[in-house]
Structure 1
Amino acid sequence: MSDFYSSMYNPDVLTCLANLSNDEVFTPPEVANRMLDMLPEELWHDSSATFLDPACKSGVFLREIAKRLIEGLKEEIPDLQERIDHIFHKQLYGIAITELTSLLSRRSVYCSKYPNSKYSITLFEDTSGNIRYKRIPHRWQNGKCLFCGASKSEYERGDELETHAYEWIHTIKPEEIFKMKFDVIISNPPYQLSDGGNGKSAKPIYQLFVEQAKKLRPRYMTMIIPSRWFSGGKGLDDFRKTMLSDRHIRKLVDYENFKDVFPGVDLAGGASYFLWDRDNMGICEVVNFNQNTPTCVNRYLDEYEIFIRQNLAVEIVRKVQENATEKRTLSDRVSSRKPFGLPTNYTPCASGVPCWFIQKIGLKFANLRDVDNSKGYLHKWKLLVPKAPIAGQTDFSKPVGFYYDGNTRIAKPGECCTESWIVAGAFDTEEEVLAYKSYIFTKIVRFLLLQTVVSQDVTKKNFCFIPDLETYQGQYTDKMLCEMWGISEKEWSYIDSRIATIGGDDNGN
């Protein structure tokens, strides 16, 4: 019995599970332990401390906590069986996300999927122990679930299929589930559910698990979630504002490459985990991992509206903002999505207004009646950039390209575009738009853009750190901008390492 929790298996079945690609991403044991390392050491010697995983998948968090408690409570409870019984009955609790993961979690934690059987290392009176699973229905209104926003057409199912209506986020009183308080809530929650939108539209739900945990006011909370919340977006804007201004978040560990945390799983924007401390507020320790190399800086998360994830980039952004003579940014110049009101799937016409469609279609025509010119773009020279310029790239620890001649267009007066493009800038003359294009193509400008990007899509809000110059004329180079904004050689070297050079040295250096 003692060998199970005092030694590590090789190979570890949970490590093997963590390598599987799945919508419900399993946490590797080593990652779970890094998260547990953030908690105070005295917790492992406290027989009254209680722990909850509200989204059990493999049971890895509860298993690793059990190992620490079994060792830490030796002196207080010398008898091994008595110690194990106390830990599993009085300290560890979980809510499984599916019936299958409930069995897997119990097998990992109790050594038996049925903790009332003779194979369990501690006996319970029922088949669940302290790891419960309850089939919960969604609550539909206008085709969506009131709690999680899932699509009724996708998730209204028979009893033979999982509903994915997770108990933790389908109640207004989470404290009633176990009718107790918890010292620590720790989890790797499900990330998203289909919301019934066009294509493979999905709604993030991991933020709901974090928000629900805060309602219980645990002493500590730590969860590992996608890093896309750094810049907000679909369903995440309020969550981002709350998280960035929350002084209870005392540590944030961020991985730019999702595979550095979850091998075999690819998700744009990376992953991060945090420590929330109820009783201690202050500045946050931010740890970045870029190609497994960490940097650590203490800083406030809400220094900017969009969180700058790289510590080394913060000083560069500050310097550019201090030295820029024009305080307007390109977010004021770049268009919103659908700059002419035409969706991506708009059908070309035989004649009409020349219109740029997706790159494989090129320049066709749109009906004049369908073209929205309320922004006044139509009769100007325009630089068109794709709304998803880095489609296919999910590892932002590698150099990022963004814009280059092959994926941008100069649209002449009288030409429009579909939603596949955004208007990066509109000008009266061709000379101005060409000068502006050279500015956009510099590595420094693309680096400033990178600081706001955590997915493959780029919108106008992502240009918020790039100064909008008073006029655009001539050819802009990185050397010119380094002198203009006081960028040092060391800072330029870092910028150069983060932005790909496409088609040779296209920046005049």
Structure 2
Amino acid sequence: VNPQSGEGVTLEQFRLLRDGGDYYLKDENGNEIRDEEHKKHFDGHLFDEVVFNDAVLEFMKKRAELADYFDETSKGDIFDYIPPQKTNQIFTPKRVVKDMVDRLEQENPGCFDDPNNTFADLYMKSGMYITEIVTRLYQSKRLKTLYPDHAERLNHIFAKQVYGCAPTEIIYRICLRYILGFNDKIHIEKHNIKLCDTLEYAKNGTLKEEMKKLFNL
């Protein structure tokens, strides 16, 4: 993360910092000046390889430890270890998400007991709201009666009851891994987690129509 702007670097920029390579100076408008006079070389080696690799391995280990969001004994989640990338990409704390879903249930008693009810997060940041919804549905006594098999119940929930949109590729990948990565033994055959920036649709009043097309409703 750039400490001045708070924004992440691109994969190409990261590789330049790590491995080195040629780059071009930019003009006042931010455009590269692609000629030999403005061509520069950076040696790289900005990261200590051992320290960097150990940090990545530790993060992956922690992600695996916290992957099962159904585990009520788990303390925290992987997003506690990821710094905010931009002002609009700050992950909502888990306690706040739980409170939001508690309020939803208070205002709509029994909403998690109906197998036909649907829930959506149309501008996901982490997928945590969706995972909390999935957890409540999965733990519903009514749904347990209708779908006593764990895998069948989860497949019904993901295929018929929860919908989500992520505005960027990186957020989509984060959400997908988090939402579907709770158990490597259960195969989710169909889900409704999509890469789609819904902001413009909401602004121009076409959100409902676009979501129908996106999710084939």
Q: TM-score range by the shorter chain?
A: 0.5 to 0.7
In the alignment, which residue of structure 2 is the partner of 1:37? 102
2:165 counterpart of 1:95: yes
In the alignment, which residue of structure 2 is the partner of 1:71? 139
Could you tell me which of 114, 118, 133 is aligned with 1:46? 114
- Partners of 1:111 and 1:167 in 2: CA distance: 30
- Evaluate the alpha carbon distance shift between residue 15 and residue 74 of structure 1 in structure 2; reply closer, same or farther with a 3 A threshold: farther
Could you tell me which of 65, 75, 78 is aligned with 1:10? 75
Contact 2:172 2:195 in 1 (8 A): yes
Aligned length: 139
- Evaluate the alpha carbon distance shift between residue 94 and residue 32 of structure 1 in structure 2; reply closer, same or farther with a 3 A threshold: same
Contact 1:15 1:29 in 2 (8 A): no
Alignment of 1:150-169 (within 5 A): 166-169=199-202
- Evaluate the alpha carbon distance shift between residue 98 and residue 166 of structure 1 in structure 2; reply closer, same or farther with a 3 A threshold: farther
Alignment of 1:14-413 (within 5 A): 14-17=79-82, 20=84, 22-24=86-88, 25-40=90-105, 41-72=109-140, 73-111=143-181, 121-124=187-190, 129-134=191-196, 166-169=199-202, 171-179=204-212
- Partners of 2:157 and 2:101 in 1: CA distance: 17
In the alignment, which residue of structure 2 is the partner of 1:334? none
Q: What do the CA deviations read for 1:462-505 (whole angstroms, capped 9, x no partner)?
A: xxxxxxxxxxxxxxxxxxxxxxxxxxxxxxxxxxxxxxxxxxxx
Contact 1:53 1:93 in 2 (8 A): yes
Q: Which amino acid aligns with 2:92?
A: T
- Aligned-pair CA distance for 1:119: 7.2
Higher helix share: 2
Higher strand share: 1
Contact 1:52 1:92 in 2 (8 A): yes
SS of the residue 1:93 aligns to: strand
TM-score (norm 1): 0.25
- Partners of 1:16 and 1:63 in 2: CA distance: 18
Q: Which amino acid aligns with 1:66?
A: V
Q: Which amino acid aligns with 1:122?
A: I
In the alignment, which residue of structure 1 is the partner of 2:56? none
- Aligned-pair CA distance for 1:166: 3.3
Q: Which amino acid aligns with 2:121?
A: D
SS of the residue 1:56 aligns to: coil
- Partners of 2:164 and 2:188 in 1: CA distance: 16
Structure 1, unaligned stretches of length 5 or more?
A: 113-117, 137-164, 181-509
Q: Which amino acid aligns with 2:134?
A: A
SS of the residue 1:42 aligns to: coil
SS of the residue 1:55 aligns to: coil
- Evaluate the alpha carbon distance shift between residue 48 and residue 167 of structure 1 in structure 2; reply closer, same or farther with a 3 A threshold: farther
TM-score (norm 2): 0.56
Aligned-CA RMSD value: 2.7
- Aligned-pair CA distance for 1:47: 0.9
- Evaluate the alpha carbon distance shift between residue 168 and residue 119 of structure 1 in structure 2; reply closer, same or farther with a 3 A threshold: farther
Q: What do the CA deviations read for 1:317-345 (whole angstroms, capped 9, x no partner)?
A: xxxxxxxxxxxxxxxxxxxxxxxxxxxxx
- Evaluate the alpha carbon distance shift between residue 169 and residue 122 of structure 1 in structure 2; reply closer, same or farther with a 3 A threshold: same
Q: What do the CA deviations read for 1:1-57 (whole angstroms, capped 9, x no partner)?
A: xx924314334113334x636312211111001011112340111111101101111
- Aligned-pair CA distance for 1:63: 0.5
- Partners of 2:175 and 2:134 in 1: CA distance: 13
Q: What do the CA deviations read for 1:383-439 (whole angstroms, capped 9, x no partner)?
A: xxxxxxxxxxxxxxxxxxxxxxxxxxxxxxxxxxxxxxxxxxxxxxxxxxxxxxxxx
- Partners of 1:83 and 1:169 in 2: CA distance: 32
Q: Which amino acid aligns with 1:4?
A: D
- Per chain length, whose mean CA-contact separation is higher, i.e. which structure has more relative contact order (CA < 8 Å, sep 6+)? 2
State the identity %: 30
- Partners of 1:26 and 1:80 in 2: CA distance: 29
- Partners of 2:186 and 2:201 in 1: CA distance: 26
Q: Which has the larger radius of gyration?
A: 1
Q: What do the CA deviations read for 1:54-91 (whole angstroms, capped 9, x no partner)?
A: 11110000001111100012122211111000000100
- Partners of 2:193 and 2:176 in 1: CA distance: 7
Structure 2, unaligned stretches of length 5 or more?
A: 1-66
Contact 1:56 1:97 in 2 (8 A): yes
- Evaluate the alpha carbon distance shift between residue 168 and residue 102 of structure 1 in structure 2; reply closer, same or farther with a 3 A threshold: farther
